[in-house]
Structure 1
C-alpha cells in the first residue's frame, strides 16, 4: 500500500500520523536549512530514493543546500505500507558583498601553494566522511563565540572586481584570543594550525554526518579523536589563513556536499558573557 503526504507550505514543525505510523519534523525547509525528523524506530527511510541513515529510535536528517530548488522526497515504509512526503524548499534572497583593495594573493592564490590546497581539501573531505552512531546533533545548538556577525551564509562575494563562490559560513568578528566553544557536543575529526585558506581549523563531528567547522583560529585547543561537550573551549578567534581581520568563520555541513546555514540552528542572541 502507498500513501502520500504533501506538505505545501513553510514549516517549523510538522507531524503526520496514520494508524501507528508517525513522522515528526523540525527545522526550516529553506535554502541552507536543516530538517531533523523522527519516525518509527523499525521503519525504513529513503530520501530522494536513497536509504537514509537513521538512529535506533528513528531520528534522521536532511538538508537544503545554498542553490537547492527541488523538493525533498521522503519514502517511509512501515508495517507493509510506504508513506510518501514531499518537502518543498523556500528560496531566499542573499546579499552581495563587494570587497576591494585586497592584496592579489587574497583573491587568487599563487601556483606554488596549489599542492597544499589540495592536501588540505583531502583532510577536510576525510573529516566530513564519518557516519557515527551518535546523537549529539539533537542538542539545541548555541553560539560558538561572542561577537558581531560580519558575514552571512549564502552571500555572493566580489573580490577586487572578481566574482567568487558564495560564502558558506557565518562570520563572527571579535578580537584575537576570544574564546571559541563547541556549539554542540561532538568528536574532533580535524585540528590543524596551518591550512592555507583557513589557518587554524577544527572540525567537530556531531553524529550521522553532521559536522561543524571553525576557521581562522589563533589557537587550537583540542586534538583529533578527543570528545568535547557543548560549551567547552576548543580554540580562540584569530585571523590565520586568508583572513583580512580577526573573526571566526563557522560552517555546518551534512555529509560532504550539503552546506547549511549556521544561523538557522542557533538562537538570535549570542552566548552569555564569559571570561577567558
Structure 2
C-alpha cells in the first residue's frame, strides 16, 4: 500500500501525508512521527540524510507497513581552506555558561504546543540580501568544520521580522545567549520549530501564540555575530532543515 506523500524529498527537505486507517505508530528512519486525529503528519530529512529511508507504520491489527523514500542529494557549497581550524577549545568558564543555555534550547524543542503552523506554506520572516546559505561548510586541511544550520538575511539593526507560520513561542531569551544572542524559538507543531538568532529586540514572550506574518522581533547583532542579520533555522526532531525548501525564492 503506497502512501500519498507531498513535499521536498531531498536533504534538508520535508514531507506531509496521511497515514492509513488504524495507524497506532509511525516513524521515519527510526524517528517517531506525530500525527493528528485524521492521521495527517509532517516529517523531514536532515541536511546529511542518506539516499534512502523508510516510512514505517504499525497498524492496530498488528500488521506493519514500510514505504521506501528516495532522498535526493544536494550540492552543498563546500569551501576547502588550506589552514587549521581557527576555533579555540572552549574554556571551562565558557562551558559553564553554555551548558544551561543548551539545556534550555533542548527543552524548548521538546514542547508539543499543538500548533497547526506545520500545515501552512511558510513565508519569509524578512527580506534582504542572503548573506549565508543553509548547508554551506568549510573544510580545514581535510577536517570538516560545522555547516551553516540556517539561512542568514542581512538587515540593519532594528529591522522588523515576522513569524513565517503560525506557532507558539517556546523560548524568548530574557537576556542574550552566549552564541545566539537574543534567541527566539517558535514551535509550529508536529516537532517542527523555527529559531531566530541575534535579535536586537524580541516582541513576543514565552507561551504566546503567534500568527503567520505577525511582527515578532527586530534584527540585530547580539551574541556571536559579525554584523546585523537574522539567522533563521528550522529543526524537526533534531534534523536541520533548509528554510528555502519551505518558502521558495525570496520575493
TM-score band, normalised by shorter chain: 0.7 to 0.9
Whether 1:170 aligns to 2:138 is no
Q: Aligned match of 1:64 in 45, 56, 59?
A: 45
**Quick one: structure 1 residues 93 and 49, their matched pair in 2 at CA, closer, same or farther if it must change by over 3 Å?**
closer
Q: 1:32 offset after TM fit, Å?
A: 0.5
Q: Which runs of 4+ in 1 moved over 6 A?
A: none
Q: Give the whole-Å Cα distance in 1 for the aligned partners of 2:126 and 2:162.
A: 6
Residue 240 of structure 2 is matched in structure 1 by 259
3-state SS of the aligned residue for 1:188?
strand
Q: 1:30 offset after TM fit, Å?
A: 1.0
Mean CA deviation greater in 114-123 or 245-254: 114-123
Q: 1:86 offset after TM fit, Å?
A: 0.3
Q: Which deviations, in whole Å up to 9, do the C-alpha atoms of 1:69-118 show, x marking residues without a partner?
A: 1522123355856432100111111113589xxxx7xx437623221111
Q: 1:58 offset after TM fit, Å?
A: 1.2
TM-score normalised by the chain length of structure 1: 0.80
Whether 1:94 aligns to 2:58 is no
Q: 1:126 offset after TM fit, Å?
A: 0.5
Q: Aligned match of 2:36 in 44, 47, 55?
A: 55
Q: Give the whole-Å Cα distance in 2 for the aligned partners of 1:59 and 1:261.
A: 22
- Which blocks of at least 5 consecutive residues in structure 1 are unaligned? 4-15, 17-22, 271-276
Whether 1:75 aligns to 2:53 is no
Residue 246 of structure 1 is matched in structure 2 by 228
**Quick one: structure 1 residues 86 and 158, their matched pair in 2 at CA, closer, same or farther if it must change by over 3 Å?**
closer
**Quick one: structure 1 residues 127 and 97, their matched pair in 2 at CA, closer, same or farther if it must change by over 3 Å?**
farther
- Which blocks of at least 5 consecutive residues in structure 2 are unaligned? none
Aligned length: 243
TM-score normalised by the chain length of structure 2: 0.87
Higher Rg: 1
Contact 1:218 1:236 in 2 (8 A): yes
**Quick one: structure 1 residues 131 and 42, their matched pair in 2 at CA, closer, same or farther if it must change by over 3 Å?**
farther
Residue 129 of structure 2 is matched in structure 1 by 148
**Quick one: structure 1 residues 50 and 232, their matched pair in 2 at CA, closer, same or farther if it must change by over 3 Å?**
closer
Q: 1:36 offset after TM fit, Å?
A: 1.4
**Quick one: structure 1 residues 245 and 97, their matched pair in 2 at CA, closer, same or farther if it must change by over 3 Å?**
farther
Whether 1:31 aligns to 2:11 is yes
Residue 273 of structure 1 is matched in structure 2 by none
Contact 1:209 1:254 in 2 (8 A): yes
Q: Aligned match of 2:214 in 232, 252, 266?
A: 232
Whether 1:44 aligns to 2:24 is yes
Contact 1:157 1:167 in 2 (8 A): no
Whether 1:123 aligns to 2:104 is yes
Q: Give the whole-Å Cα distance in 2 for the aligned partners of 1:125 and 1:50.
A: 16
Q: Give the whole-Å Cα distance in 2 for the aligned partners of 1:220 and 1:58.
A: 35
Q: 1:246 offset after TM fit, Å?
A: 0.9
**Quick one: structure 1 residues 168 and 117, their matched pair in 2 at CA, closer, same or farther if it must change by over 3 Å?**
same
3-state SS of the aligned residue for 1:206?
strand
